Chain A
Amino acid sequence: MSLSHEREDALVQKLKESFPADIKETNIIRRARLEVTVAPEKIKDVAVFLRDKLGFDHPNGVSAVDYNRENRFEIVYHVSSISIKGMRDLVLDLKESVPRNAPRVGSLVSVWSGVENYERESFEMFGITFEGHPRLEKLFLTDNWDGPPPLRKDIRFPTD
């Protein structure tokens, strides 16, 4: 396994050239794993660029992370490519942060249709609203659940 990160560096370079002002942070975690943080209002443009120009054709999932001590949520889109064979091992984490007291972001269903269920889960489990989502309803929780979003950090188990 090579220790150089040529592919990853090239991807970061292309993203920075195309969006010089909007890429807040990039981080190559290790081989085939990289993170790109963007401003929430620009995430859709970056996502379309990733899909159409860099070959990231499908989502592996979407994670929401509650940083309650920093008063923010982070939403992470894990995307990969199947069409480019040499890039199939690569997972790019496209990240955005929103304030915890006003968690509203734009949905990426129009870019990757596969994120529909994951965004619904983040909506019910963390209370994050995805604007433009075709069907922002509960997925796993029961229809009559009226408690707080259960995966937030401030929700504790009775035995905890």
Chain B
Amino acid sequence: MSAPPKPVPLTTVESTETSDSGAQTLTLSVGPQHSGSGHMRLIVEVDGDIIVNVSPDPGYVHRGIEKIIELRNIIKSIPVIERPSIIDASNLNHAWVRSIEEIQGVEVPRRGQYLRTLLNEMNRIMSHLYWLSIYGVFLGHTTMFMWPLGDRELFIDLAEKLTGARITYSYLVPGGVRRDLPPGFAEEAVKRTEYFEKRLKEYDRIFFNNPLFTSRAKGIGVLPKQKAIELGCTGPTLRGSGVDADLRKDEPYAAYPELDFEVSTRPDGDSFSRAMVHMDEMRESCKIIRQIVKKIPSGPIRRKAPIVLPRGVAYGRVESARGECSFYLIGEGGDKPYRARYITGSYRNMAAIPAVLLGSRLADMPTAWWSIDYWPVEADR
């Protein structure tokens, strides 16, 4: 029988403390159940309504995926690797197959690269839409909850046509992809992205240009550029602080070197900047999708890759929706990796949560916190 659990430490329940200076602060436990998505907790200490201390407490959805991968064949790991962020499944999958291919020395055919990029960009839009709908919930804006989730179906249906699955595709495999483009896909993709771009203008009208949002987001939760770099932040959180870092440009992989797109940045580092980076990226992704279906080369979609992982080391990384997702992979010649270190965008951006919240008012917490697009399941792995 296991030993009885130890008592819960005091810091995990509401408590008041008196500091040396005589000021009284209140410690609040926000979560693990909260109005956002995914279980995690922030332990917040407030003086009046000013946040003076924040401590993220992740781990409620920790699954030990690094250990699970060590015990499985590299192909059988693919569905597990997608789980931490099912809304961004193909980008995480891409980091995994990229690191395997680095060790194996397998080159992916160009058509395979284009198809990977296609699904990656569709996933980026889907993930950003999911983020936006939860942002709507956090800010009490019901329309902004309903619309993005509805429009997300446009791309979920497209992904289903391409891969056969709506959310978790296991589409990318070492050496290429599983299926080729179905007939009529290009026209459908153009139609849907063009419609979606019109919808984005309506999002601007009802939410992003709305004083109800701008007055709550501008100047709130500022993350200065230097601090964002030092903490190792990544993705939209980093680009919202004015850094034009994007692996799709900085370390071009898959079909990105042949495509025309801009890296979205905003200089201010506040919640509004981070939100607008997400919006810009969805527009860019629509552009990329249309380019891909127009200029996709013909040829094979997959090259035969071995199912063993030779002895070697790789650091494979991609730009996922929430930033850099990477695998530090060590092979020892068998069909299982010796070690697979899995670092995701949310895990890296966890360090930014205290940085953006300190000094804010408690009422600004949802705006600042969710603008980081911190996905608890992805961080816990």
Contacts and interface: CB of A to CB of B under 8 A. Distances in A.
A29 interface: yes
B102 interface: yes
Nearest to B7: A144
Interface in B55-75: 58-59, 62, 64, 66-67, 71
B296 interface: no
Interface string A58-77: 11110101100000000010
B181 interface: no
Contacts of A140: 58-59, 62, 380
A61 B250 CA distance: 18
Nearest to B251: A89
Contacts of A139: 58-59
A65 to B, nearest CB: 5
B59 A142 contact: yes
Given A78-B315, A114-B351, A117-B350, A61 B341 contact: yes
A113 B230 contact: yes
Interface string B226-266: 00011111000000000101010011000000000000000
A94 interface: no
Most buried by B among A35, A91, A155: A91
Contacts of A117: 347, 350-351
B6 A143 contact: yes
A41 interface: no
Contact of A30 (B3, B102, B347): B102
Interface size class of A (residues with CB under 8 A): 35 or more
Interface stretch (B15-23, B213-221, B323-331): B323-331
Given A61-B326, A113-B231, A143-B6, A88 B251 contact: yes
A118 B102 CA distance: 24
B275 interface: no
Contacts of B341: 61, 63, 65, 76
B251 A61 contact: no
A116 interface: yes
Contact of A112 (B5, B232, B245, B338): B232
B351 A116 contact: yes
A13 interface: no
A67 B313 CA distance: 14
Contacts of B1: none
Interface in A146-160: 146, 150-151, 155, 157, 160
A60 B343 contact: yes
Interface in B33-65: 58-59, 62, 64
A129 to B, nearest CB: 20
Nearest to A27: B313
A54 interface: no
Most buried by A among B66, B245, B315: B315
A141 interface: yes
B64 A114 contact: no
A114 B232 contact: yes
B251 A82 contact: no
A117 B350 CA distance: 8
Interface in B308-346: 312-315, 317, 324, 326, 328, 330, 338-339, 341, 343
B67 A91 contact: no
B365 to A, nearest CB: 20
Contacts of A76: 328, 341
B3 A88 contact: no
Contacts of B66: 151
B250 A88 contact: yes
Given A83-B229, A88-B245, A88-B251, A157 B62 contact: no
B107 to A, nearest CB: 11
B116 interface: no
A143 B229 contact: no
Nearest to A157: B71
Interface string A19-63: 000000000011011010000000000000000000001111101
A30 B104 CA distance: 12
A8 interface: no
Given A30-B102, A88-B250, A61 B67 contact: no
A157 B233 CA distance: 33
Interface of A: 29-30, 32-33, 35, 57-61, 63, 65-66, 76, 78, 82-83, 88-89, 91, 93, 112-118, 138-144, 146, 150-151, 155, 157, 160
19 contacts: A30-B102, A58-B231, A58-B232, A60-B232, A60-B324, A61-B326, A76-B341, A78-B343, A82-B243, A89-B250, A112-B230, A113-B231, A118-B343, A139-B59, A141-B62, A144-B5, A144-B6, A146-B3, A151-B67
Question: Across chains A and B, which 4 residue pairs bring their CB atoms closest together, nearest first?
Answer: A114-B232, A140-B59, A89-B251, A88-B250
